Amino acid sequence: MNWSMHLNLWNVAAENLWRHRRKTIAIFVPLMLAVTAFSAMSFIRDGMLKDALLATEILPDITVQAMIGGRAERLSVELGEHILKMKNVARAAPRVWGYAPVRIGGDIFTYTLMGIDSGKMPGPGKIGLTIAHGRFLDTNDLDCAVIGKAVADHFHVAVGDGLDFGDELGNRGNFKIVGLFADDVQIYAADLIIVPIRTARKFFGYSDNEATDLCVYLSDPSDTDAVCADIRSSIKGSRVLDKKSVGDTAKQVYGSRAGVFQLMWIILLLAAMLTAWTEASSANLHITHEIGVLKATGWSTMNVIEMKVFENVIIAGTATMGGMLLGLLYLLAGAPGIKEYFLGWAVIYPDMKIPVHVCADTVGLILAIGFFPLLVATIIPAWAAGTIDPDEAIRG
């Protein structure tokens, strides 16, 4: 293989881009902006999806709530005993939880305070929490708490400290921090406070036999539908949520949020392609003439096309890699302007980092979007010019 010929053509291609830098910039800038927008949108969408799916993965197999008049109401813990007797049910643990809006400075931040019966719930690993410091709750604990690392940072507490916790609704509690869990899942790390169920009942004013919902764990999770049907038929007015449908909803919600931004990057990409096509076509006589002269002096059609391909590889490659990097930097800087849209209600959690995920599939798609449209928009006119007789090309 004549590497030096290909290197020569590459060098000429690079020189041509500088030589016609106005045209180069007119194509490069919108393309890079399109890739930046698409990359930022894709990385944050992938991060949100990953976070949401992680969050749903650690849900119980089935969650049971009591509905009255279309609203979730407190339910009796005896329902858990009843569900425990059903086929395939391994555990049925009550939970008491609710939102606690807390004023910090001039702003209201809403936390989730969740009370669990650690004797009936699976261990922290099974409910998706990795303990980073300290320990998880014991069955005899009272007025203790395990909190997310971001929550600890916000209240300036560590393991062993006391947390005086009161919300805007008048609920109040004083908890000893016994453990911190890691931020595997941003949503949990940013707002979750786990306490013993008795502590939560005290906080929210529940009686001893009341719960917010029931967490049902199955021996064979593949048979979820049958157990859900059993629960619905035996407990009137219950809302039965299986893990899969919650996951599907999360995918839909976070996936669709990216849809708005698709319009933006598509417009920018079209602008880049149209500019490239227009430049290639309106300057076609000039390019055709130039190609005719090159062929008359001993260049082959393939030499010409190779040079044009190299020109576009350089523009597309630089714009695509630069756009991806810019998109990442934008997200690392906090995604100003779009963070609130993507995170939605979650933006009210203090210190919640934007979940960003870069996966091979998305990078591959970005590369394809960056390269192929531009190649098509410019190679076709060049190929058309390269395949006619030099005489005809020169005469125009």
Q: Is there binding between residue 290 and another protein (CB under 8 A)?
A: yes
Q: Is there binding between residue 81 and another protein (CB under 8 A)?
A: no
Q: Are 107 and 113 in contact (CB under 8 A)?
A: no
Q: Is there binding between residue 391 and another protein (CB under 8 A)?
A: yes
Q: Is there binding between residue 295 and another protein (CB under 8 A)?
A: yes
Q: Is there binding between residue 9 and another protein (CB under 8 A)?
A: yes
* Contact string 244-283 vs another protein (x = CB under 8 A): ----------------------------------------
Q: Are 75 and 211 in contact (CB under 8 A)?
A: yes
Q: Which of 77, 8, 1 is nearest to 303 (CA)?
A: 8
Name the residue with tokens 């004549």. 2
Q: Are 39 and 262 in contact (CB under 8 A)?
A: no
* Contact string 298-327 vs another protein (x = CB under 8 A): xxxxxx------------------------
Kindly identify the residues of this chain, within the stretch 350-389, that bind another protein according to CB under 8 A: 387, 389
Q: In sequence order, what are the residues at sequence separation of 6 or more whose Cβ sits closer than 8 angstroms to the Cβ of residue 191? A: 109, 110, 111, 112, 148, 150, 151, 349, 352
The residue within the footprint of another protein, chosen from 297, 337, 345, 361 (CB under 8 A), is 297
The residue within the footprint of another protein, chosen from 11, 130, 252, 262 (CB under 8 A), is 11
Q: Judged by CB, which is closer to another protein: 4, or 233? A: 4
Return the structure tokens found at 273.
């392609």
Q: Which of 396, 390, 377 is nearest to 301 (CA)?
A: 390
β 162-166/172-181 pair status: antiparallel
Q: Judged by CB, which is closer to another protein: 294, or 346? A: 294
* Contact string 18-57 vs another protein (x = CB under 8 A): -xx-------------------------------------
In angstroms, the Cα distances linking 372 to 313, 326, 368, 375 are 10, 20, 6, 5
Taking residue 171's Cβ as centre, other Cβ atoms within 10 Å add up to 17
Residues within the interface to another protein (CB under 8 A) = 2-5, 8-9, 11-12, 19-20, 289-290, 293-303, 387, 389-392, 394
